[in-house]
Structure formats: C-alpha cells, structure tokens
Structure 1
Amino acid sequence: MKVLQDEQRITVMEGPWTPVDVIKQVVDEGTQEDPFYVMNLGEVVNRYHRWKELMPRVEPFYAVKCNDDKVLVSTLAALGAGFDCASKAEIQLITSLGVKPDRIIFANPAKMASHIRYSAAVGVDLMTFDSEIELLKIKQHMPHAQLVIRIRCDAAVAQCPLGIKFGCDPVSEAPRLLKLAAVLGLEVVGVSFHVGSGAAETEVYARGIQWARALFTSAARAGHRMRLLDLGGGFAGGSHSCLAHVAQVINNALETHFPERSVQVIAEPGRYFAAAAYTLATMVHAKREVASKDGADQDETHTMYFVNDGVYGSFNCVLYDHQQVVAEPLVPSTAAPRPCSVWGPSCDGLDCVLPSSLLPPLAPGAWLLWRDMGAYTLPVASPFNGFPVPRVLTVIDAALWAVLKDLWPISEAHFVHGGPIVVPQTPPLSPPSPAACPSPSPSPSPSPGHSQPSPSSSPPHSPALAPLDDSHSRLVFVECALK
C-alpha cells in the first residue's frame, strides 16, 4: 500500500502536548499570518477503535468526499477501513494508496458513463443505483457489476438531507427495479440507504434496516442472491457527539432482521472520522466598531472582526454544510464578552462567518480557534480573491508512530524526529515573465554528489516540517494512544 509521496514528511513528537498547545507555540513565534489547521490523528485512530468496539458487525467504509486528506485516508486504510467513493477521481486516489478494489463501493446512484468504465477497468465492481436509466447505463458499460439498490430513508432531522436527490421508494419503486435488473441479466447483491448527513434521529436506522429485510425477500424472489447491507452515513462527528446510542439501535435492528452472519454489513461514515480531528486557527487582522442595531442607546457598539479565512475557504461549511461554527479565543480572557460578528478576508459582503456572536474584546493580531472543522471544509475551499486555503501540518505522537510505522509501508526517510513546529507558508506568487524583467544571473551549479542547501533550510538536527503535497501540508497532532 502506498501512503505518502517522496516530498511528504511527518514529524514525530515526544512528550506531552495538545493541539492547542502547539497552535500557541506556532503563534508565539510571531511570523505566522495565514490560517492553518492542526489535525489530531490520534482522534481518528481512537474513533476507529470505538466504532469497532460498539458495532463489531458493521464495517466502516469511509466517505472520501468528506475530507480527502491523504494522511487521513491512508491511516484509515492501514487500520482496515473500506471506502465510499463517488467519482473516478476518488477511486483513483484510494486505489493509488494500494487499497484493493473489493474494499471500495462506488456509492453514487447517478454515475457518468466514463466513470463506470473506469470503475470496471480497475476492478471496483460494487456500485449503487436507484433508477431504470442507471440500470440501462450499467448494462451497457459494466454488465458484470455487483449492484446495490439504494432506497430512500430520511431522518426526521438531518444537517444535510439527501433523500430529495437520491434513493428510490422502498415500497412502490424498489421491487419493480429489482425485477428489471433480473430481466436485464444484472446481479443485485444488496440494499443501501442514507438517512441524511449529520442525522439527529437514531431510530431511522431501524426503519431502514427493516425495509432492507423486506427487499432482501423481494430480491430473492426475483432471482438475486443478496449478501450486502449498506447503512450509509449520517453519523455525528463533533467532539461532544456520542456513537453509543445509535450503535445500540443498529445492533438491535440487525439482530432482529439480519441475525444471519452471512450478510456483510457496511456503513459510510464521513464526518464521524474527520470532524473532530481538525482544529482551525485564524487571525484577526482588522476590526471595526459600528453602532449596535439592537440597542436603543446610540453609545452601544457592535464589533466587526475580520479574520484570514472565510466562507470561500474553510467556512464554506457554513453555506453548504449548514454547520454551526463556534469561535474561541486562543488566549483566554477575563474581560466581559461583547456583541460582535466575524467576517472573512474577501471583498464580498456575503463573506460572513458569524453574523452574531459574543467574544471578549480582541485586538488585531489575536487568534481564534475553531474546533470540529474537519468535515466538508478543505475539499471545498478555494483561494477566492487571492486568499490562501489554510495549510495543515503533519506531526505524530511517538507512541502512535511506533505502531503505525509497521502498518504504513513508509521508509524512515519520510519521518523527521523532533524539530521546531513550523507551518509551511503559502508559496509566493510566480515571478514576472522573462519578457517583463531581465533574467537573473545563473547560480553556480553544485558539485556532483553534493546538494546545495536552500537559504531557508533548517540547521542540522533541527528539522522543519515539509509540505505534504502541492495543495496543502498536513499537521497531525496526536493526544490519544492506540488501544
């Protein structure tokens, strides 16, 4: 299994520390101006073992769309997770890491023909459908596919409802599609549903499992040999979320409707693994006092804080994922909180992160923490208006590294032991073209067999963190040990 490219480095940390402590260390250096993430890999590992402990029958197939961080997906692959991919590019990413095709489900009920052909070429046979058109398309481009019918099963409350777009009716549509698949000579092997991303109702899983049982019977009558149940996503991922209650509902429903162990049960958690593992740090670079709209007293003011990341960057989750973000001063203050709002760096008036909040007075240069920012943030962020997407630095606790280094086929050269905490800065803008300015004098070439150090190279025995890839670097901080 391939995990990292040659230019990627992970710093191994010794001694006690927390992500917030390291953010303070980075900020105290006084040179950091761009926003950045801390990714706590220990949180991901801990959640994987928690999942296996609470739901031993349910195999997690991580939803890549939630966060395609290479360190995150590589670690889940090393731990034994499967993957829910929705496109050719996501399949390419996961297979490039060495994940076997039978650990991938192409869970997009409305696929492009070229993506189906690619899936067939690389051996990803398992895929979902919910319509006649999709069956005909699969018949044409991949008749040997192992199909999973996706039914609609909506939670009463969900952060992002999905039934409005995908899923056939389990009573009126699904039986007919199962018969059509049999007529076309296609093999249906399972049933899937998705209760909605960030579901707030747990009993919905029991409903979905009950409907799936009925469809197993209908499929058998149509000649299909059913062997797979896919519970989809919807699992909460915040720091204070609890998996225990939903696990109890799922386990009870499985024992009632699928007591036989011959049926493989999977799920597609995304934010459960990604959300709490990432903490974002942003800097207040400007502020403005305006008259309060709510107060009759004209002397009452409202503070507008401008930070270096906004809704076109990490906080796209406010617009697209309906996330309720919370700002927390990096340095605690005893001053009374005051009415304020938080705004992104772009020149767009819609770039508002928090329209109304309460924070202690902050001066330009102060930093804010934003927890639970790993789900549906980085994959959607863009450098609109020229403001950079936050970097993510990679650091791993020595105790966890000692275990994972045997699961990761990475050479010792990929790790840096010790060294200062350094956030890789955004690459400088490209220099003007040669036509606009004269070419500089050529630098002398290094002697054969000798490398020429960069002016910014770290001194010996004081390694700095290196970028993970061209888009952004990863900082992985670990405070939880493997069980």
Structure 2
Amino acid sequence: MKGFLEDANYSIGLLDEGATLGNVIDNYAYEHTLTGKNAFFVGDLGNLVKKHIQWQNVMAPVKPFYTVKCNSTPGVLETLAALGTGFACSSKTEMALALDLGIPPVNIIYTNPCKQASQIKYAAKTGINVMTCDNEIELKKIARNHPNAKLLLHIATEDISGEEEVNMKFGTTLKNCRHLMECAKELEVQIVGVKFHISSSCKEPQVYIHAISDTRCVFDMAEEFGFKMTMLDIGGGFTGCEFQLEEVNHVISPLLDVYFPEDSGVNVIAEPGCYYVSSAFTLAVNIIAKKAAEYDNFLPAGTEQTKSDEPVFIYYMNEGVYGSFASKLTEKFNSIPEVHKKYKEDEPLFASSLWGPSCDELDQIVENCLLPELNIGDWLIFDNMGSGVMGEQSAFNDFQRPLIYLTMSFSDLYKMQYTGLTSDTLMKNFFFVPSCVQLSSEDSFTTAA
C-alpha cells in the first residue's frame, strides 16, 4: 500500500454511489484474511472535506492551521492542502512535508515549544518565519539561529474547573511577557502575536474568556514596545464534535469582535488536528490468541458481582499500545470495538477484555466489554482512530505496521471540485472502486496494495 510517510505516491479509492465504507472494510478484511491477517486502516478523505466545510460554516473567519503531528499520512496532507488549510509543524520533517506539498512558508508555523537549533536554522533557510516561544532561553536560541523570525508569545491559560492536574505546562505568564519583550527588543527579534492553547479535556468554554482577555493585555503591552502585532493563535483542543465547535464559537465570537475586530489587521488562526482526522480513520485488528478465565478472577479489585458460571474471555490482538493504540498510554480511550463477523441477535454475550500482542501489563486496550465469543482470526473494528500514531511499526514481535487504505466518495470529490479546491497532485492518485463485496485478491481492489 502506498501512502506512508516516506512514500511519494499513494492511491485513493474513488467510491461510486453504491459503495459504502463498510464495503471497503469488508473487502480488505477478506483480502487480509487470505494474505496474512495484518491490521489495517481505512481512511475516508471525504470526512476531511465535511469537517472543513463545517469549520468554515461555524468558525469563519478563524483560519485553520492543521496540526501535522496528529496524522501525517500524505493523502491527508494533500487533501487539507487542497482545501486551503495552513499547517502547524513541530519538526523539520513536518515542515519539509508541508513545503513539498507546495504550501507557501507564510502558511506554515513552527510550533514546537522546545526547538532544536538545527531545525530553527532549517526554518530560516526555507523561509518559515512564524514560530512560538515562551521563555528567555528559547528566545535567545531563536535570535542566534533565525534573524528573520516572527514570534508568537505562547501564554499559559488558567483551568478554571480545577479538575485537571498539570505537572508541566507550556506557556508564559503575563508578568513574564514584559520581560520577554524587553529581551526581544534588545536582541532585535520581532514579536508579531500571541498563542494560547485550551486542552480538549477542558469542559469549560469560558476558559476562552480569560485567555482572549489576557491576549488583549499582551497586545497592548507589545504596542508600548513598538511591536506590530498581526496574529492571534487560539491553539487546538477541538474534538471534532460540531456541538463543541459551536460552543467555542459562541464564546469567542463576541470577544473577537470587541478585542480584535476585522479592521484591526489581526489574523486569527487555530490549530485543529484531531478535529479533522479522528473520525476519518477506522482500524481493523485481528484476534491472534484467546483464553478463558473464571469470572471472579476477571473482575477488577473491589467490584461486587454475583458469582457466575459463564466463562470470561481474554483476547489478544495484533495491534496494541506500542503501535496504533499508543495514545491510550497518555489519554482516555473510549472507542468501543465492533465485531466484524455477523452474529445472531440472540447470541449470548460474554464479559471480555482486549489486549495488544506485547504481553505487557500496560498493553490492555479495553478492560471490560460484552462481546459474543470470538475465534482466532476474527476481526474487530475500532472507529475514530485517525489521530495519533498512524501505522507506526510495532515495538514487539515483528508485527507489521498496519497498511493504510484511502477512499473518497464521488459526492465528496464533487464538493471539492465544485468549490475549486482539488489539486492536480491529488487527482492523479484516484482509482475507481465499483460497488461490490468480497473481492478476491486478484480483483481491482488490490491496486492499492
């Protein structure tokens, strides 16, 4: 399958109106059953188109700068480039990817809070000038290596809920902003704006009120030093839920009208990542081992349940936290698996747990769920798997990284063409997929392999 980070080319299956994403998953599960049962992703690039239209409808005029580290699959980047997004990059590799797509350097920002000097020099060499900074040491490093840098001061935000305990926060205080401006003036480094970031775990959109009012203070402070401020970056934290997007817009829109009206000359941007890609990708994994356990031994400590004679099943899959489920090590994982095989409605369900292939105690994907009894070789489907580690090589047992198959429907392609957003480089990668099921390994679906 072409389409990995190091590949220059990739293929996109163009679905006719009779074909569904379910058909695509069925076909590849059938093919992988014949050829090796490796895990695989199916990506719906049309989902990106829908999310972009949703963003334009709700969040205009905030320009999205896609966070490349969320998912750097070339087909994703090509599609978002055609849609007109900017790119927020955290490394030289990501900056090079964006530049290779023909993205103008002015539409790329270097957002890593801890930058290597060599990568700052690369940004300088390629004309990527806008980057973030939150401390004096970083400021001096940028001054030495990028004389044309344009800085966004990254300010810390306050978690008004008090629920989230943060051991290490990026961002500087309002008090320290004045000191950084004094240093920037002395070092002859330009400060052109402010960035803040609200975590997706924050449940209070009101946090934006504090952040934007603090930003206005920083802008006023910068004017005292003679800096021309032209950019406000409201960061990421967008979950992909339209309701959340509307909630955020409901809070920030009147604030932007007051503090940064359109005639102020301030460009407002954001860094959505998960918003675009999470729901666009589905992961199919295979059951490689199973064992039965006694019900009492399976229950978590402290759980009160009546004794049951029913077996409890523990399943091991060919992907885990050292591969495509890596985000589970640092984030809450809520994806509920779907059994791919057809089973009867009255078929009994059993308490089950799902594990990755490493046999590591950290490699538990789902602690407890109800599933029909599965067999080795059966497939499980996980939705909303587009953000995080896409197709990384597993660290254990020579398991191959999942292949990535990309699709788009005719109707979604038409939406892009109708608005003039397709590109020649994107169009050349399409191939037609007829509406059919259970293709054999010799049939046309294998052209993506």
> Fold-level match, TM-score > 0.5?
yes
Write the letter of the residue equivalent to 2:106: D
Give the structure 1 partner of residue 51 of structure 2.
Answer: 47
Whether 1:179 and 2:173 are equivalent positions in the alignment is no
Give the structure 2 partner of residue 99 of structure 1.
Answer: 103
**Which residue, out of 464, 467, 473, partners 2:446?**
464
Give the structure 2 partner of residue 10 of structure 1.
Answer: 12
Cα distance in 2, alignment partners of residues 379 and 166 from structure 1: 28
Q: 1:140 to 1:83 in 2, by over 3 A?
A: same
Question: Conserved in 2, the CA contact under 8 Å of 1:152 and 1:168?
Answer: yes
Question: Conserved in 1, the CA contact under 8 Å of 2:339 and 2:381?
Answer: yes
Q: Compute the displacement of 1:320 (Å).
A: 2.6
Q: Compute the displacement of 1:321 (Å).
A: 3.1
Give the structure 2 partner of residue 378 of structure 1.
Answer: 390
Q: 1:198 to 1:235 in 2, by over 3 A?
A: farther
Whether 1:315 and 2:325 are equivalent positions in the alignment is yes
Moved more, 60-69 or 384-393: 384-393
Q: 1:411 to 1:37 in 2, by over 3 A?
A: closer
Q: How does 1:53-452 map to 2 (within 5 A)?
A: 53-156=57-160, 164-170=168-174, 172-237=175-240, 242-261=244-263, 262-292=265-295, 293=297, 294=299, 297=307, 299-330=309-340, 331=342, 333-334=344-345, 335-378=347-390, 382-402=394-414, 404=416, 407-410=422-425, 414-418=429-433
Q: Compute the displacement of 1:300 (Å).
A: 4.2
Q: 1:338 to 1:85 in 2, by over 3 A?
A: same
Moved more, 341-350 or 120-129: 341-350
Q: Compute the displacement of 1:198 (Å).
A: 4.4
Question: Conserved in 1, the CA contact under 8 Å of 2:327 and 2:388?
Answer: yes
Question: Conserved in 1, the CA contact under 8 Å of 2:316 and 2:355?
Answer: yes
Question: Conserved in 1, the CA contact under 8 Å of 2:18 and 2:435?
Answer: no
Deviations 1:157-203 (A, max 9, x none): 79998782310012x21122122212221110000011124433212
Question: Conserved in 1, the CA contact under 8 Å of 2:391 and 2:401?
Answer: no
State TM-score, norm by structure 1.
0.81
Q: Compute the displacement of 1:388 (Å).
A: 1.5
Write the letter of the residue equivalent to 1:346: S
SS of 2:17's equivalent in the other structure is: coil
Cα distance in 2, alignment partners of residues 232 and 159 from structure 1: 20
Moved more, 19-28 or 80-89: 19-28
State TM-score, norm by structure 2.
0.87
Q: Compute the displacement of 1:28 (Å).
A: 4.1
Cα distance in 1, alignment partners of residues 89 and 61 from structure 2: 21
SS of 1:324's equivalent in the other structure is: coil
Question: Conserved in 1, the CA contact under 8 Å of 2:16 and 2:434?
Answer: no
Q: 1:96 to 1:302 in 2, by over 3 A?
A: same
SS of 2:69's equivalent in the other structure is: helix
Question: Conserved in 2, the CA contact under 8 Å of 1:106 and 1:127?
Answer: yes
Question: Conserved in 1, the CA contact under 8 Å of 2:41 and 2:405?
Answer: yes
Cα distance in 1, alignment partners of residues 54 and 150 from structure 2: 30
Question: Conserved in 2, the CA contact under 8 Å of 1:162 and 1:197?
Answer: no
Cα distance in 1, alignment partners of residues 163 and 106 from structure 2: 30
Question: Conserved in 2, the CA contact under 8 Å of 1:285 and 1:306?
Answer: yes
SS of 1:394's equivalent in the other structure is: strand
Question: Conserved in 1, the CA contact under 8 Å of 2:110 and 2:132?
Answer: yes
Cα distance in 2, alignment partners of residues 279 and 416 from structure 1: 20
Instruction: Give ranges in structure 2 of 5+ residues lacking alignment.
Output: 300-304
Deviations 1:1-33 (A, max 9, x none): xx9966422232212333223212333454261
Instruction: Give ranges in structure 1 of 5+ residues lacking alignment.
Output: 424-455, 468-483
**Which residue, out of 2, 22, 25, partners 2:24?**
22
SS of 2:446's equivalent in the other structure is: coil
Q: Compute the displacement of 1:76 (Å).
A: 0.6
Counting matched residue pairs gives 430
RMSD: 2.9
Q: Could you say which structure has the higher helix fraction?
A: 2
Cα distance in 1, alignment partners of residues 204 and 256 from structure 2: 17
Q: 1:458 to 1:157 in 2, by over 3 A?
A: farther
Q: Compute the displacement of 1:71 (Å).
A: 0.7
Give the structure 1 partner of residue 302 of structure 2.
Answer: none
Cα distance in 2, alignment partners of residues 392 and 421 from structure 1: 20
Cα distance in 2, alignment partners of residues 413 and 356 from structure 1: 45
Q: Compute the displacement of 1:248 (Å).
A: 1.3
Q: 1:120 to 1:421 in 2, by over 3 A?
A: farther
Cα distance in 1, alignment partners of residues 162 and 240 from structure 2: 13
Cα distance in 2, alignment partners of residues 102 and 189 from structure 1: 13
Write the letter of the residue equivalent to 2:15: M
Write the letter of the residue equivalent to 1:63: T
Question: Conserved in 2, the CA contact under 8 Å of 1:6 and 1:414?
Answer: no
SS of 1:111's equivalent in the other structure is: coil
Q: Compute the displacement of 1:376 (Å).
A: 1.0
Cα distance in 1, alignment partners of residues 16 and 54 from structure 2: 25
Q: 1:276 to 1:457 in 2, by over 3 A?
A: closer
